[in-house]
Amino acid sequence: MQSVTNYKCPACTGPLRYDEKTGRLVCDYCGSSFTVSEIESLYAEKDEQAAAAAAAAAEKEEAAQAAAAEEGWDSADMSSDWGKDGDVRAYNCPSCGAELIFDVNTAATSCPYCGNPTIVPGNLSGTLKPDYVIPFRLNKDAAVKALRDYYHGKKLLPKAFASENHINEVKGVYVPFWMYDGSADTAIHATATRVHTNVTRDERITVTEYYDVYRNGTVSFDRIPVDASKKMPDEYMDALEPYDYSALTAFSNAYLPGYMADKYDVSADECAARADDRASRTAENAVSSTISGYASVMVDGRDMRLRRGRVKYALLPVWILNTKWHGKDYMFAMNGQTGKIVGDLPVDKGRYWTWFAGITVAVTAVVTAVQFLL
């Protein structure tokens, strides 16, 4: 059994959660609030004590198991502990003691029995520790309101969809992203033309000048984000951009209480191709844009060399709602920092054809009336 953490209020031992407005950890029971650094230093001390206690407990358990083995139950047919193999792990909730089963990539969630925010520090520590985090700036109320606004005015949305899709189940998730620095050396060779036309009384004279054009430049990029989670569709995470990087801060577990978080399950190398593709397209466009003042430009050749720089690991805030409608999954995501929302909504075919027929009949009636009156 591995250990998990939930940050408790030093004053009343109630669970702490991160507050988006104040940027502090607050206790909903006694009203106390603490800075991220205060809780970090408090829990660093506690972790040391917990490690010593865990070592002692492990020794004691080993001795008990050895004694039980001498006269124990026959467990040869039982499956192995699911906390050690497969894609799931088992933990005990530090608040209520319930056994929690998490996906191996889960780094923060809440206990389904007592509701307390729970963190799995092992998934976000050591080499797996993110470099940065952008804390949530918009809270759940804002996310729910944004979703309701998003539904509003959608003429083809099934009426029952908005009411039945449990909009209050929207969850705040820290999504893992890789952020790539790098540059692209780009050379473009082109043939360009300028055209001058002179018209006399009897002739139109067109002079076409041809130019051999060459451009060679380097375009540098900072922190191109690529989501590192298989669970998150790339197009959704791309569409949530941009994030305001001025809010990037050094990672701390203290930002996680109250949200879900996953560690990455797609490596930086696997994601690099997407960053490369975006960088090379942009570099070519940027260098091409310096060829101006011509009537036509025909590219004869291009050369691209990508120079990969640093890669950083960051958790970015996203409010997510997964819902089902007529057996099909629909997902909505909102940038937890800027409020930008993306999602695919179901189309009510009945409404579609009602609108189509209605508009057709209305336009036909108006045009007929106008034509008839004229």
Partner 1 sequence: MKKLLLTFVSAALMIVMLAVPAAAADLPNVTDAAELMTEQQLATLEEMSEDIAQKYGCGVYIVTVGDYRDLEDTDIQTCAEDLYEYFDLGVGEEKNGILLMLSMEERDYALIAFGQKAHYSFTDYGSRVLAGEFLDNFRSDDWYGGFYDYVERSGEMLALAESGTPVDDYAEDEPEYTPPSRADRIRMSVIIGLVLGVIIAAITCGVFKRQMKNAVKAVGAERYIAKENGMVMHDRFDRFTHQTVHRERIVHEQRGSGGGHGGGTTVNSHGFSGHSGKF
- In the window 238-277, what residues touch partner 1 (CB under 8 A)? 238-239, 241-242, 275, 277
**Contacts with partner 1 in 273-302 (CB under 8 A)?**
275, 277-279, 281-282, 285-287, 290
Residue 52: strand, helix, or coil:
helix
Q: Judged by CB under 8 A, does residue 231 bind partner 1?
A: no
**In this chain, which stretch among 44-52, 79-87, 108-116, 223-231 interacts with partner 1, using CB under 8 A?**
223-231
Give 145's Cβ-side CA count (13 Å radius). 7
CA separation for the pair 171, 117 (Å, rounded): 13
State which of residues 140, 221, 288, 322 lies at the interface with partner 1 (CB under 8 A).
221
Choose the binding region for partner 1 from 18-26, 85-93, 256-264, 352-360 (rule: CB under 8 A). 352-360
What x/- string results for residues 142 through 181 when contact with partner 1 is judged by CB under 8 A? -----------xxxxx------------------------
- List 223, 262, 335, 337, residue binding partner 1 (CB under 8 A): 223
User: Quick one: CA dihedral 103, 43, 127, 267, positive or negative?
Assistant: positive
Q: Looking at beta carbons only, is 99 or 222 nearer to partner 1?
A: 222
Quote the CA–CA distance of 234 and 342 in Å, as a whole number.
12
Give CA torsion, residues 312, 268, 317, 346, to 10 deg: 150
Residues listed for the chain: 374
Chain center to CA of 165: 21
Confirm if 206 and 195 have CB atoms less than 8 A apart: yes
Minimum CB separation of residue 370 from partner 1 in Å reads: 8
**CA angle in degrees (0–180, nearest 5) for 180-182-184:** 135
Q: Which of 222, 244, 300, 303 binds partner 1 (CB under 8 A)?
A: 222
Whole-number Cα distances in Å, 106 to 5, 50, 262: 13, 22, 4
Q: How far is the CB of 313 from partner 1 (least distance, A)?
A: 17
Query: Please, what's the largest Cα pairwise distance for the chain?
Result: 116
| CB of residue 3 to partner 1, shortest distance in Å | 38
Query: Does 218 sit near partner 1 (CB under 8 A)?
Result: yes
Radius of gyration of the chain (CA): 30
Q: Give min distance, CB of 138 to partner 1, in A.
A: 18
- Candidates 41, 208, 267, 296; binder of partner 1 (CB under 8 A) is 208
**Of 29-37, 52-60, 106-114, 359-367: span binding partner 1 (CB under 8 A):** 359-367
23, 83, 233, 339: residue in contact with partner 1 (rule CB under 8 A)? 233
The residue (of 153 and 327) whose beta carbon lies closer to partner 1 is 153
Q: What does the alpha-carbon distance between residue 320 and residue 262 come to, in Å, rounded to a whole number?
A: 13
β-bridge partners, 320: 171, 333
Using CB under 8 A, pick the residue from 213, 266, 299, 306 that binds partner 1: 213
How many angstroms from the chain centroid is the CA of residue 299? 37
| Residue numbers 36-75 binding partner 1 by CB under 8 A | none
Select from 36-44, 104-112, 300-308, 358-366 the region that touches partner 1 (CB under 8 A): 358-366
Continuous segment of H or E residues that includes residue 192: strand 171-199
26: helix, coil or strand? strand
Is 192 one of the binding residues for partner 1 (CB under 8 A)? Answer: yes
